[in-house]
């Protein structure tokens, strides 16, 4: 399913229709509204994902089970838009600590190919599930460990190809009515569509542009060493007026971060790529401190005295090793503090993250990054033999592996262009396979041509020569 968020007249943004389902890239000038739009999308994703929608869902037979198909998905989409029309101003004020006007906001769910079935494991439902082979005795026993006090939910996602266990073993107290639990599980399906995960254990991370400064000062921001972390975060949520909510969430993530071996193992290939290709060393946790060990040294360096580029990447390593399994990253000004050669490696990392299943929304001002994104897409979806291309590039000291290419073509690139009234027009760029040019980044083309013309004049070269 493709999910779009549509905005009209919000801050600098005149109009935008942005796909948030897979891999989204924002390019544009400073002060064109990229960060503000990214923060609004983040807020909408987080807020909508925490809702319990009240829509009609047909009952399956006479058991405690319900189905959600195309019709219900459309009703879910309508319900979300009605909710946003009533609450968007409050969402904006909570996010930005300011009443920023907005004319319109809506979401679109397009191309749905899935249906869902929600089963509550009450006595009359269990027999049905066993008879249909939707659950076996071993799975059932695991889900019914606390049957005396709780019943559980099983949510199946069906496509034309297969049936998968979308969500299971959610325990509900016996005192909660099935109708209430149904709304909660419908909310879980909505959360999966939007990408926002559980409101309790967040899978969404916003990485703001000023990452190094925030990394160095976040503990001072919360203050009062020894206080309960959750208490400090609640206090800041209630009293913080100087920063936006996405930035506060990032600071809270740093404060609550907990290295988890299981998650680290799952993402080991990604962190190894960061260590080998981006920061030329390793990042590790020593108690409450984060340290950096360069490849050419055995000495651990406190992260606050490491280079700015290393500090910029630390939050990504934390996201790949945290107890909250993060799989949706908003990455503002992704190239910050990076040499152009490291920016090229960062594009490879973004592709690898997306190939691993991470949703991404990133912004960049860098023509180097934009060009590398373009080139890797041309290589990803061209009809060239990869091994021969790899060897040809290697002759020119350009190293590339198959994992650096994007597996999917579900990438959406948006260019922010300021109009004469100072508003930004957000236009989706078309990837052109014929002719094989990829994206036309007109903003970067203009700056490149300006530099070229300047060099010609400086060297007294005219067009005839």
pLDDT digits (tens, 9 = 90+) for 330-363: 999 999 999 999 999 999 999 999 999 999 999 9
Phi, psi (rounded to 5 degrees) for 136 = -105, 175
Give the separation between CA 133 and CA 127, rounded to whole angstroms: 10
Please answer whether residues 193 and 146 qualify as being in contact, where contact means their C-beta atoms are separated by less than 8 angstroms.
no
- Cβ neighbours of residue 161 closer than 8 Å, sequence gap 6 or more: none
Q: How does DSSP classify residue 174? A: T
Q: What is the pLDDT of residue 380?
A: 85
pLDDT of residue 446 exceeding 60, the answer is yes
List all residues 6 or more positions away from 302 whose beta carbon is below 8 Å from its beta carbon.
Answer: 289, 290, 291, 292
In the numeric block, which tokens belong to residue 274?
A: 């960061």
Calculate mean pLDDT across residues 212-229: 67
What confidence score (pLDDT) does residue 345 get?
A: 96
The whole-angstrom separation of Cα 418 and Cα 374 is 23
What is the pLDDT at residue 449? 66
Looking up tokens 């036309």, which residue turns up? 440
242 vs 99, more confident: 99
Read off the tokens for 278.
Answer: 């981006």
**Per-residue pLDDT for 167 more than 90?**
no
Instruction: Report d(CA 35, CA 363) in Å as an integer.
Output: 8
pLDDT at 74: 96
Q: What is the C-alpha to C-alpha distance for residues 15 and 34, in angstroms, rounded to an integer?
A: 12
Task: Give me the chain's average pLDDT, please.
Answer: 87
Closest CA to 118 of 48, 184, 173: 184
Residues whose CB is less than 8 angstroms from the CB of residue 337 and which lie 6 or more positions away in sequence, other chains included: 212, 307, 308, 309, 311, 312
CA pair distance 119, 169, nearest whole angstrom: 11
Can you give the pLDDT at residue 127? 85
pLDDT of residue 422 exceeding 70, the answer is: yes
pLDDT band at 315; cut points 50, 70, 90: very high
Peptide bond preceding 406: is omega within 30 degrees of 0, i.e. cis?
no
**Each residue of 118-153: pLDDT tens digit?**
998 888 888 888 888 877 777 677 666 555 667 788
The reported pLDDT for the residue numbered 136 is 75
pLDDT at 118: 93
CA distance readout (Å), 11 to 58, 81, 443? 41, 20, 21
CA distances from 198 to 45, 72, 225, 326, 357 (A): 11, 21, 29, 11, 17
Cα 414 from chain centre: 16
Amino acid 146: pLDDT: 57
Whole-angstrom distance, CA of residue 136 vs CA of residue 154: 13
The pLDDT value recorded for residue 356 is: 95
Judged by average pLDDT, the poorest of 28-42, 113-127, 394-408, 431-445 is 431-445
pLDDT at 465 over 60: no
Secondary structure letter of residue 170 according to DSSP: E
Give SS3 for 23. strand
Per-residue model confidence (pLDDT) at position 100: 93
What is the pLDDT, as a whole number, of residue 214? 75
Q: Chain centroid to CA 149: how far? A: 36
**pLDDT tens digits for 240-275?**
667 899 998 998 898 889 999 999 999 999 999 999
Predicted pLDDT of residue 403: 94
Q: Please say if the pLDDT value at position 16 is more than 70.
A: yes
Dihedral (C-alpha) 138, 142, 144, 148: value to the nearest 10 degrees?
130
pLDDT value for 227:
61
Please name which of 109, 146, 142, 131 lies closest in space to residue 65, comparing C-alpha atoms. Answer: 131
What integer pLDDT is reported at residue 260 of this predicted model?
Answer: 93
Angle at 131 between CA 129 and CA 133, to 5 degrees: 65
Q: How far apart are CA 90 and CA 82, in angstroms?
A: 14
Residue 234, pLDDT score? 65
DSSP SS3 for 101: coil
Q: What is the pLDDT of residue 60?
A: 94
Under DSSP, the state recorded for 408 is -
């Amino acid at each position: 399913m493709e999910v779009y968020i549509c905005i009209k007249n919000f801050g600098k943004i005149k109009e935008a229709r942005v796909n948030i389902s897979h891999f989204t890239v924002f390019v544009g000038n400073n002060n064109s509204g990229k960060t503000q739009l990214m923060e609004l999308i983040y807020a909408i994703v987080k807020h909508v994902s925490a809702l319990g929608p009240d829509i009609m869902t047909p009952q399956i037979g006479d058991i405690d089970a319900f189905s959600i198909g195309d019709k219900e998905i459309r009703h879910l989409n309508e319900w979300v838009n009605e909710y946003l029309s009533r609450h968007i101003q409050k969402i904006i004020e909570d996010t930005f600590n300011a009443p920023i006007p907005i004319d319109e906001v809506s979401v679109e769910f397009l191309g749905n190919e899935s249906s869902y079935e929600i089963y509550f494991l009450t006595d009359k439902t269990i027999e049905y599930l066993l008879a249909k082979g939707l659950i076996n005795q071993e799975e059932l026993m695991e889900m019914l460990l606390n049957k005396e006090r709780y019943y559980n939910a099983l949510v199946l996602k069906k496509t034309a190809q297969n049936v998968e266990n979308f969500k299971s073993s959610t325990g509900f107290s016996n005192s909660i009515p099935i109708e209430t639990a149904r709304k909660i599980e419908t909310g879980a399906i909505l959360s999966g569509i939007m990408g926002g995960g559980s409101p309790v254990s967040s899978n969404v991370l916003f990485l703001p542009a000023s990452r190094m400064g925030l990394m160095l000062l976040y503990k001072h921001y919360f203050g009062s060493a020894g206080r309960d972390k959750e208490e400090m975060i609640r206090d800041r949520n209630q009293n913080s007026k100087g920063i936006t909510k996405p930035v506060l969430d990032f600071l809270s993530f740093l404060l609550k971060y907990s290295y988890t071996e299981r998650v680290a193992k799952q993402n080991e290939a990604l962190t190894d790529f960061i260590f080998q290709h981006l920061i030329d060393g390793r990042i590790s946790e020593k108690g409450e401190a984060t340290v950096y060990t360069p490849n050419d040294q055995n000495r651990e360096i406190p992260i606050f005295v490491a280079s700015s580029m290393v500090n910029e990447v630390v939050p990504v390593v934390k996201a790949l090793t945290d107890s909250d399994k993060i799989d949706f990253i908003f990455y503002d000004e992704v190239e910050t503090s990076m040499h152009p050669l490291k920016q090229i490696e960062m594009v490879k990392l973004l592709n690898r993250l997306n190939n691993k299943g991470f949703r991404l929304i990133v912004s960049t001002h860098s023509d180097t990054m934009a060009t590398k994104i373009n080139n890797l897409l041309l290589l990803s979806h061209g009809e060239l033999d990869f091994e021969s291309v790899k060897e040809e590039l290697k002759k020119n000291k350009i190293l590339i592996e198959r994992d650096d290419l994007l597996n999917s073509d579900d990438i959406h690139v948006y260019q922010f262009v300021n109009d004469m009234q100072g508003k930004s027009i957000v236009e989706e760029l078309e990837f052109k396979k014929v002719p094989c040019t990829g994206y036309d980044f007109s903003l970067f083309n203009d700056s490149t041509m300006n530099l070229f013309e300047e060099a010609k004049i400086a060297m007294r070269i005219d067009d005839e020569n």
